[in-house]
Amino acid sequence: MTEIQLRPDVGPPDSGSDERATLLAFLDYVRDAVISKARGLDARQGRTPGVPSGTSVLGLVKHLTAAELYWFTWAFEGADIEHPDFGMDLAETDSAAGLLAAYRRAIERSNEIIEHCDDLSQPCARSGGKAAVVRSMRWVLIHMIEETARHAGHADILREQADGSIGR
């Protein structure tokens, strides 16, 4: 019988700060949840789809890296970068360490952009999303909390399927 590993959840952030600091604290909280679900999986476990759609833990990390780059760097900042690919398909060269490092770099860049935004009502430099609408930084932050939290839940289930680990 497989021994189930329990990892305690640290609980949501306790932030009585301003709106931006609170939103960023929650975004960092769910980002960390995704990273913790991917950490420690071997290559096979991280790549193995847990559902018929083909979703894997490392595929989620790859997708969320693209979402960070798309919403904060490409759409909000308007940087001249290649349009990110939101796909979850993994290349043979994609490793857990490489994908997690790329995710951490994207998060670091996103946080720099967030910190330099003085007004959460400030519009993105580009329209984005399926609706092709110019959004505000506030909208991008809330969307990324929702997107990352949803995928953290997916990663939680996929991790339990992979090795029986539950909890944070």
pTM: 0.92
Q: Give the C-alpha separation, 58 to 67, whole Å.
A: 14
Question: Which tens digits make up the pLDDT trace of 82-121?
Answer: 999 999 999 999 999 999 999 999 999 999 999 999 999 9
Question: Which tens digits make up the pLDDT trace of 1-12?
Answer: 445 555 566 777
Q: Domains, the chain, ranges and CATH? A: 17-162 (1.20.120.450)
pLDDT at 106: 98
* Strands 6-7, 166-167: pairing kind: parallel
pLDDT at 168: 63
Q: For residue 61, what pLDDT band results from cuts at 50, 70 and 90?
A: very high
Q: Give the C-alpha separation, 102 to 24, whole Å.
A: 19
Q: For residue 35, what pLDDT band results from cuts at 50, 70 and 90?
A: very high
Compute the average pLDDT of residues 25-35: 96
pLDDT at 5: 55
Cross-strand partners of 123: 136
- Percent of the chain exceeding pLDDT 70 equals 92
Question: Which tens digits make up the pLDDT trace of 119-140?
Answer: 999 999 999 989 999 999 999 9
- pLDDT greater at residue 47 or residue 14: 47
The torsion angles phi and psi of 89, rounded to 5 degrees, stand at -70, 135
Q: For residue 55, what pLDDT band results from cuts at 50, 70 and 90?
A: very high
